[in-house]
Every structure is written in structure tokens, then in C-alpha cells.
Amino acid sequence: MGPMVRRQKGENISGWLAVDKHEGITAAKVVARVKTVFNAAKAGHGGTLDPLATGVLPIALGWATKTVSFAMNGRKVYEFEVLWGARTDTDDRDGVLVEVSDVRPAKTDILLALENFTGEIEQIPPDYSAVKVNGKRAYELARDKQPLSLAAKPVSVHAFELIEALSADRARFRVQCGKGTYVRALVRDLAQSLGTFGHITGLRRTQCGPFMESGAISLEKLESLGHKAAASECLLPIRTVLDDIPALALTDEEAHRMTLGQAIALWPVVKRSGTSGFEPGITVQALCGKTLIALAEVENGMVRPVRVLNN
């Protein structure tokens, strides 16, 4: 008898989906429920959301899981409410209250302080975050009451706006930011700069890369579609997260070679398509017709597959 072949569980279905996550559920549970609806063999998410948070959670199915990093690198937009005068150990309302202050910032002071929190800034992640410390997640160490000294990391904040000062105690904000930015840490540091404490009481993500709130579907609606979900407009092509990456059109023969992991000559492809500007080291989409064959890298006059997508 030959070696046993492990049968794949689920359908080989690929694409992206934007779920409008409701409050009180983890991103991992959303992935599990989406996977069940599509009976998908493989699924993952492109940018987690805390249970407290609602809004856009991109879900990758099948071969799309190989493009998750591109979704996570995209711009994100959050709207959230802050309660002044109280700090929790998680920097949101799900945590334990640890410090209080009688200071309530004036609107004019808030607007002035926001100027220091835009652009390229250094940010220390919250203790309750997924940052790894000696192989363990920071939140695991924080739960065990182990002392933490997390290193500051550079993050990009494109815009930080005060939407409304609701009262002396509460305010609403909108942030546009890049990969790795913790909104909870922004609030923690903003409050500190204003001589008080603060934490998030509600947060909604309205954009994550190319995925918008307007195109997101609730879990309940998705589950009501059942087996029709795969054929619905909510399942988007893998290329959805690759809009900013240049594309090269391959012949059937070139595409076949690339699926085998072989590099192909750049010049014939460029000459045929009439495009230029493919710098060494650049990532490109390798297409055959409308099918994404691979994510590839230009190197020494060759196009070398980095991630083959046999869909």
C-alpha cells in the first residue's frame, strides 16, 4: 500500500469578504462562522478587532489567505468614544479600573494636543496586545501580572480628528492610521498629554484597506444566505487587496511555468504589454487573463514567483 493521502476538509473556495463584526465576538470566532457558511477548507482574517470593537473585518478564504499581509498593510479608519478621567489595565472599557483623575480636558486643549499625534510617531503598544515578548504574547504576560516593558514602535497616523466633545467626560474621535497602530494606545497617550487619564468605551472600524463599511455584510445576513453565499456579490476576488501592485500579463505557457515555481524572463512580458518601470525587488501580480497566478518579484531580469496561487 502507498502512503495515505489526507483528504482536505471543506471546499476549495477562494476570495475576500468584508464582515461587519458586531460587539462581543472575537475575530477568531467570526472566521470560524464564515468558514462554516462557505464550507471553506481554509480561512483567516486580515487585521484583528477586539471583542469590544465593531465594523469592518476582512476575511480571506482559500488562496486569498496568502495575500493577508497586503490587507493588513492598508490604511485603516476608526471612529471611537473616549471616557476621560479613568484608566483601565486594557485601555478600554473591558478592563479593570486602575487610576482616576478629576481633570477634564477643554475642547481647545484637545484640538491643540491632537497635532502632536499625527504623522510618523513612536508608540508603546498596550500591555494587553498581541506583541510578542520572548516568544509569548504581551496579553498573556499581562494576565499573569508579570511586569512588562514594551519597546516603542514607529506608526503612521494620517489624521486624528475630534468629531464631537459630547460632555466634559466624553468625546468622539476619528483616526486614519497605518499598520500596527493601536487606537487604545493613542487614547492612553493623548489623555496623558492632557494631564488626565482616558480609555475607549466604544470603537468602530469603518475602513480596512480596500474594504469599506458600505460593502461589509453582517454575520447574520451571511448565515441567512447559506450555500448561496459563495455565489453572492459579497465574495470578492483575491485581487481586491492588490490594487496598488503592478500587474504583468502572462501567456498560458508562462503561467504554467510559474505554477511550477519557475522564474520567467521579464523582458518578453514587458515588451508584449508595453509597460515599464519594473524596478529590481518590486512585487508584481502575475496574471493569466483575469486569473491571479502568483505574487512575484522582479530580480536580475527575471520574474520569480514568491507565492503561487493555483486557483
One-letter-per-residue 3-state SS of the chain: CCCCCCCCCCECCCEEEEEEECCCCCHHHHHHHHHHHHCECCEEECCCCCCCCEEEEEEEEHHHHHHHHHHHCCCEEEEEEEEECEEECCCECCCCEEEECCCCCCHHHHHHHHHHHCEEEEECCCCCCCCEECCEEHHHHHHCCCCCCCCCEEEEEEEEEEEEECCCCEEEEEEEECCCCCHHHHHHHHHHHCCCCEEEEEEEEEEECCEEHHHCECHHHHHHHHHHHHHCCCCECHHHHHCCCCEEECCHHHHHHHHCCCCEEHHHHHHHHCCCCCCCCCEEEEEECCEEEEEEEEECCEEEEEEECCC
Do 123 and 56 have their domain in common? no
pTM of the model: 0.86
148: pLDDT confidence band, cut at 50, 70 and 90? confident
For the ranges 90-94, 120-124, 278-282, the lowest mean pLDDT is seen at 278-282
Summarised one tens digit per residue, pLDDT across range 230-287 is 767 888 988 888 888 888 889 999 999 999 999 999 888 888 876 666 778 888 888 8
Question: Which sequence positions are flagged as catalytic?
Answer: 50
Residue 10 inside a domain? The answer is no
Tell me the per-residue pLDDT of 169-210, one tens digit each, with 9 for 90 and over: 999 999 999 999 999 999 999 999 999 999 999 999 999 999
| Domain annotation covers residue 2 | no
Q: Which whole number is the average pLDDT over 125-142? A: 76
Cell of 131: 506583541
* CATH code for position 19: 3.30.2350.10
Whether 6 is in a domain gets the answer no
Number of structural domains in the chain: 3
Report yes or no on 3 lying in a domain.
no
Are residues 189 and 267 located together in one domain of the fold?
no
pLDDT for residue 84 is more than 90: yes
Residues 63 and 105 in one domain: no
Is the pLDDT at 52 greater than 70, yes or no?
yes
pLDDT of residue 276: 67
Domain extent at residue 139: 76-208
> Where residue 7 falls among pLDDT bands split at 50, 70, 90?
low
Amino acid 310: pLDDT: 63
Q: Both 294 and 230 in a single domain?
A: no
